[in-house]
Amino acid sequence: GENVEQHPSTLSVQEGDSAVIKCTYSDSASNYFPWYKQELGKRPQLIIDIRSNVGEKKDQRIAVTLNKTAKHFSLHITETQPEDSAVYFCAASPFQKLVFGTGTRLLVSP
């Protein structure tokens, strides 16, 4: 079955810096790659997603890149702000099943 690895597990940056979180997946049938943000005590919320027919997608300060050949995808956050502090989860989906990475705790210091 699908296996998703996510790195780093913890990431500390200064406000205004960029943050990059990387994930690898194992199942070449995976065709959908979402990223979720979970603030403390709250539900995970989708922040951006990408499908396998696209290499890059941007939404304001957030971007995701996908390399199907290498089976990895990354989340890029530019100009980080304290409110970006949260746990971020990547996921990969072979058809209708969604498998999550173990999460990255991002801490943005003012």
* Binding interface with another protein (CB under 8 A): 31-32, 34, 36, 42-46, 49, 51, 89, 93, 95-103
**Residue whose CB is less far from another protein, 14 or 42:** 42
**Residue whose CB is less far from another protein, 73 or 89:** 89
**Residue whose CB is less far from another protein, 81 or 90:** 90
Nearest distance, CB of residue 65 and another protein, angstroms: 19
Nearest distance, CB of residue 109 and another protein, angstroms: 23
DSSP secondary structure letters along 17-78: --EEEEEEE--TTEEEEEEEEE-TTS--EEEEEEETT-SEEEETTEEEEEETTTTEEEEEE-
Determine phi and psi for 80, rounding to 5 degrees.
-60, 150
Nearest to 106 by CA among 26, 23, 38, 31: 38
Determine contact, residues 63/18, Cβ cutoff 8 Å: no
Nearest distance, CB of residue 61 and another protein, angstroms: 20
Nearest distance, CB of residue 41 and another protein, angstroms: 9
